[in-house]
Chains A and B, each alone.
Chain A
Amino acid sequence: MTTTTAQTTQVYQVFIKATPEAIWEAITEPEFTARYFYGSRIQLDDGYRSVDAEGRELVAGELIEIEPPQRLVHGWRSLYDESTASEPESRVTWEIEKRDGGVSLLTVTHDRLEGSPHTAAGVSGGWMYVLSGLKTLLETGEPLGG
C-alpha cells in the first residue's frame, strides 16, 4: 500500500444481473446480508444497524431515506473497532438503477468521511469485498468462495 490517505467520498459501482427488487431484498433482508456482508445481519427499524451472529452491534447509524427498490440512505459508524467507534457518523447511499437486458447498476457512495479517517481507511477495501460478494450471490446463488 502507498501512503495515500483514504478518500472522504468513496464511490463503488457494480452491474448485477438481477432486478432492482432482488437487489433491494438482498441489501435489506438480514438472511441475505448474513451471506455476503461479513456474516452481519442488517436491521432497519428506527435506524440502520448491523449485528453479528452473537448479536453484537457492528455498524449503526441514522436511517435517512428509504425508497424501495431504488434508494437507501443511512448513517454509518463502525463500532467493531475502537479507533472508528469514536469517530463522527458518516453517510452511505445505495442507489439501484434498472438497465437493459435484465441488468441493474448498484452504486454505493460512502461520504461525509472528512472527520472519520480511520473509518474511511477501514471501509475502502470492505465495500469492494461486499459488492463483489453480493454480485456473486445474486448471480450464482452462492456466497463468494462458497
Chain B
Amino acid sequence: MDDDDRVFKALADPTRRHLLDRLYERDGRTLTELESELEMTRFGVMKHLRVLEEAGLVATRRAGREKLHFLNPVPIRLIHDRWIDKYTESRVAALTELKTRLEETA
C-alpha cells in the first residue's frame, strides 16, 4: 500500500472523518476527550486513531503523561495537489477555450 492508498482508506470511513472534524475544531486532544464525544468503546476509537496515524493524518505528541492528537492536514493537501488541482485546472482550461471559441464564432 502506498501513501495515497493509506490516506484514501483512512478517509473512507465516517467515524474517522468525524474524528478529523473534531480535531479540526480543536487540536491536541487526548484519547479520553475524543472518546467522550463518540458512542464507541475506547478500543474502537484507538483503532480508528491508529489507522489515521498510519496514514499520517494524525500526529501525536507527548505532553507529560498524556498523548495528544493533532490533525495533520499535509497528506490531504498532497492529495489535493495530485488529484484535484490537475483535473479542475483542465476543466477551467476547457471552459476558457470554449468561451473563446463561442465568442469567435458569435
Contacts and interface: CB of A to CB of B under 8 A. Distances in A.
B3 to A, nearest CB: 7
Contacts, number: 49
A144 interface: yes
Given A7-B28, A15-B3, A136-B81, A128 B59 contact: no
A136 B3 CA distance: 14
Interface of B: 3, 24-28, 56, 59, 61, 70, 72-75, 77-78, 81, 85
B81 A144 contact: yes
A131 B28 contact: no
Given A4-B24, A4-B25, A13 B72 contact: yes
Nearest to A6: B27
- Give the interface SS of chain A, mostly helix, strand, loop or mixed: mixed
A77 interface: no
A9 B28 contact: yes
B59 A13 contact: yes
Contacts of B81: 132, 136, 144
B73 A128 contact: yes
Contacts of B73: 12, 128
A7 B26 CA distance: 7
